[in-house]
Structure 1
Amino acid sequence: MKSFLKLVSVFVFIIILTACQSSETTKSNNENGKKTVIEYWHVNAETQGGKTVEELVKEFNAQSDTTKVVAKYNPDMYKGLMQNLQAEVAAGKTPAVVQVGWSFLDYFSNNFNYVSPQEVIDKNYPEDKTFLQDHFLENVMNLAKNSNGKQVGVPYSLSSPVLYINRDLLKKAGLDPNGPKTWEEVKEFSKVIKEKTGKYGFYFQEPADNWATQALLESNGVQMITDGKATFASKEGIEAYQLLADMILKDKSAVHLPWDQGVQSFIDGNVAMAYTTIAQRSNIQDNSKFDVATIKSPAWNGKKVRVPAGGAMLAITAKEENQQKSAWEFMKYLYSVESMAKWTKGTGYVPPRKEVAGAENGLKTYLEENKMMQAAIEQMDEVVPWTSFPGNAGLQAEQTLLDARDEILSGKISVEKGLSSAQDTINNLLK
């Protein structure tokens, strides 16, 4: 036993001695000078920031003496990443940095080991001690706090749903080229477009989450959760969902397609209006061959618009200290003004860092030249938290709503029965 303790003591001494050989923590993360390799898990497909992820990772790796980042794309958005992370942890492995969607904030913090970025900073980077409080508004940082008030990560992507419009098709149908202002008008516009042009009038985004659905329902006065219970199957919730179902099933003026196909149909000029994230702005703007614009999320007559904050935070899941240090080094690079500006230009996400929008080396000129960003920026006052179902029910609750959506919009079940059944199932999960 004494021999073993001596061996451990020697080993610890060697580690401490090695760590002290460099006076600058940013120069070396290990004793042999080799770069620490870390994985960065993200959900950005090629059409929604994937190319920008590759560019930023490549640039970071080229300038870092200590760290090499390997980016890994996770399909099926944030739900898919959580499922893949479960499998990785079960296999005894973990990435170093992960994107966590706002709807999985509590689920992530309840089910996975992570370290708060500030803890890593305080322990290893004293020069960055006030980095977060200096560069982020308090209400923005609070988006990355769980229900217990703990800072889980740092906001990285902020978005809201906007209505993309094909002004050429609207004009062809004899409609106002500035687009509809309410959901009731969206339905009317969509029907006229189908009748006058033969094209579909509307597409409502259908990814592997219920983000856009929350905007549709909550803008009609619905609360997704009240006092820890799901409450979306109210009269107002059924009314809102019925409008969408009627457009698809009754009027046949809206198209029911997976997300990538729906957005592509809009780009191809086969759909006149598409309700989806501002993060699709770059893809749509660069590839559309018609007069395209964005307008703010529609309201319901006489009611206040509520749009959930889309996007994600970055969280550190690295276990080893050298990987945690590398994780923060990489994150700090991503949160620089220049990197944030590239991220916004490549995606359309609203930057969470304070200085980016007005900085000369940031987005000042870009925002003046790219008017399609304006709708998302103007409705930031209407942004609300993306619903995060409490406890360990997050994945199952999200999937229950997705299953209900598919059954409702394919005509297999009525809106009232579909929403009520989903609400009951989720509330049983939450007990």
Structure 2
Amino acid sequence: MNRKTFLTGSLALLAASGVLPAFAGEIPATVQKPVTISYYNYNLASAGNGAEATKRMIAAFEKANPNIKVEGVGASSADITSRIQADVAAGRIPDVVQMVFSDLNFTVDNLGAVALEGTVPEAELKQHFEGITPNGLQLGVINGKTYGLAYTFSTPVLFYNANLFKQAGLDPDNPPKTWAEVKQAALAIVDKTKAEGIATGIFGPSAGDWLFQGVLRSNNGRLMSEDRKQLAFAQPAAVEAVAMLRDLYDSGAYTNLELQAAMEGMASGNVGMYLQTSAIQGFLVKGAEGKFDLRATTMPRFGDKPQRPNNSGSALVILSRDPLKQRAAWELMKFMTSKEAYTVITSEIGYLPLRTDIVDDPKYLGDWVKKYPLIKPNLEQLAILERWESFPGSNYRQIQKIMMEGAEMAVFGGMDPASAMQAAQDNAQPLMPK
């Protein structure tokens, strides 16, 4: 029995036992009696600002909604889906979850995600959507329905140390725009300073494949065919992107650092450039404060080809089948995607504000953006944002793992890029749905 069949059977048994009651139609207008909802959130499992800011937002929500108590459940972004899957199978249905975008299709197909259309009154849904950037809203849409409300996400940002640029004879006001320029700048930093040239968050156990997807797409590579049946990451454009990373590494410009070591290296001033999610912005700002001039620019492009950044991050998804808990979950989702919440999410954690009208508003982010302009490259890339794709079927994470291991062997392991990516594609294709 495969995983999807097992979960479908588990859900059916839960429904038959009354744990997962059938429900169709709009939720109640208000929460008029005390109710407790579970909130699975990966920021609660993080160190530093992510967890603390999320706890404060939950407390503020409970204060504003005295009939609703929120039980926060922390799980890392790499583990949250398997945790939810296990709890669903055991009959402990989470009420609202922070779902990694690459897992959203699986959540809809296997875990009973609730479409907001037909559940939340149409006028109320439309009213809340007003002001949220359309590119962000579309990230949670599958088959024409909104299953996930975009919550925390970013685009790939190239952080850089302006002091190291000056020491290396580079112009910090004119940061690299292409990968060729990144290589040149990184080698200058390595040659003229004691720092590493560039590190990235592309590889590593907790990296996923979101950054890698953006690199491949920017060279017109792709993960799979348009009909989502045939893998395509061994095609020439994708291999060429991998070969570029291999050349960066072979030249000494690119340092293979584990995620935490790369973050700490950038924050301490020992790395010249770092391509990563803006969610680490708060950590980097704190490390750089009073020590060096931390700046940021957009992700590099391949020659004259345009950047094609995709999102990282998460959406809020309702799994509860109970109408009252669905209303409570929706109230929490509205609160967590409000102007007030995005002010906290952006200024204290580093994610994008999906309500871009707060960026220039002094009541919200206006003054903060003037003080910390690092968010601007992220905002620029919203206009060209593309979806973080997930592979189809229940084997999606295994396919992703095989692809990333192939790329890692090509970049750091000495394998020929074309051979490594072809071997990975050949091994992964049988795992695709028939």
The alignment's TM-score, normalised by the length of structure 1, stands at 0.85
Q: What is aligned with 2:380?
A: 378
The more displaced of 137-146 and 187-196 is 137-146
How many residues are matched?
A: 397
Preserved CA contact (<8 Å) 2:40 2:75 = no
Root-mean-square deviation (CA, aligned residues, Å) is: 2.2
Find out whether 1:285 has 2:282 as its counterpart: no
Q: 1:287 to 1:119 in 2, by over 3 A?
A: farther
Q: 1:313 to 1:37 in 2, by over 3 A?
A: closer
CA deviation after TM superposition for structure 1 residue 413, in Å: 3.1
Distance in 1 separating the partners of 2:246 and 2:31: 55
Q: What is aligned with 2:10?
A: none
Q: What is aligned with 1:219?
A: 218
Match of 1:26 among 7, 15, 31: 31
Code of the aligned partner of 1:327: A
Distance in 1 separating the partners of 2:233 and 2:48: 31
Q: Deviations over 1:135-169 (max 9, x none)?
A: 434443222112x2222121112310111001111
Q: What is aligned with 1:253?
A: 253
Distance in 2 separating the partners of 1:47 and 1:417: 41
Q: Deviations over 1:97-156 (max 9, x none)?
A: 11122222212211111212344423xxx883533343434443222112x222212111
Question: Aligned to 2:419, what secondary structure does the other structure show?
Answer: helix
Distance in 1 separating the partners of 2:362 and 2:187: 45
The more displaced of 356-365 and 304-313 is 356-365
Q: What is aligned with 2:20?
A: none
Preserved CA contact (<8 Å) 1:144 1:154 = yes
Distance in 1 separating the partners of 2:364 and 2:90: 41
Find out whether 1:170 has 2:171 as its counterpart: no
Distance in 2 separating the partners of 1:376 and 1:351: 10
Q: Deviations over 1:63-110 (max 9, x none)?
A: 3211111222222x2x42112222222222122111122222212211
Preserved CA contact (<8 Å) 1:48 1:279 = no
Find out whether 1:239 has 2:240 as its counterpart: yes
Q: What is aligned with 1:330?
A: 332
Code of the aligned partner of 2:257: L
Match of 1:187 among 174, 183, 186: 183
Q: Deviations over 1:306-364 (max 9, x none)?
A: 00022211100123233222211211211221112111111222222354334443222
The alignment's TM-score, normalised by the length of structure 2, stands at 0.85
Find out whether 1:298 has 2:297 as its counterpart: no
Preserved CA contact (<8 Å) 2:176 2:300 = yes
Distance in 2 separating the partners of 1:369 and 1:48: 19
Code of the aligned partner of 1:270: N
Q: What is aligned with 1:4?
A: none
Question: Aligned to 1:212, what secondary structure does the other structure show?
Answer: helix
Q: 1:60 to 1:391 in 2, by over 3 A?
A: same
Q: What is aligned with 1:13?
A: none
Percent identical among aligned pairs is: 27
Q: Report matched runs for 1:31-46 at 5 Å.
A: 35-43=35-43, 45-46=46-47
Unaligned 5+ runs, structure 2: 1-27
Preserved CA contact (<8 Å) 2:135 2:383 = no
Code of the aligned partner of 2:155: S
Bigger radius of gyration, 1 or 2?
1
Q: 1:384 to 1:246 in 2, by over 3 A?
A: same
Q: Deviations over 1:384-430 (max 9, x none)?
A: 11112123232222222232244334415332222112222332222
Distance in 2 separating the partners of 1:48 and 1:103: 24
Preserved CA contact (<8 Å) 1:42 1:98 = no
Distance in 2 separating the partners of 1:26 and 1:350: 30
Preserved CA contact (<8 Å) 2:135 2:385 = no
Distance in 2 separating the partners of 1:413 and 1:58: 51
Question: Aligned to 2:363, what secondary structure does the other structure show?
Answer: coil
Q: What is aligned with 1:107?
A: 106
Distance in 1 separating the partners of 2:214 and 2:277: 11
Preserved CA contact (<8 Å) 1:172 1:197 = yes
Preserved CA contact (<8 Å) 1:256 1:409 = no
Q: 1:129 to 1:199 in 2, by over 3 A?
A: closer
Preserved CA contact (<8 Å) 1:219 1:307 = yes
Unaligned 5+ runs, structure 1: 1-22, 30-34
Preserved CA contact (<8 Å) 1:36 1:67 = yes
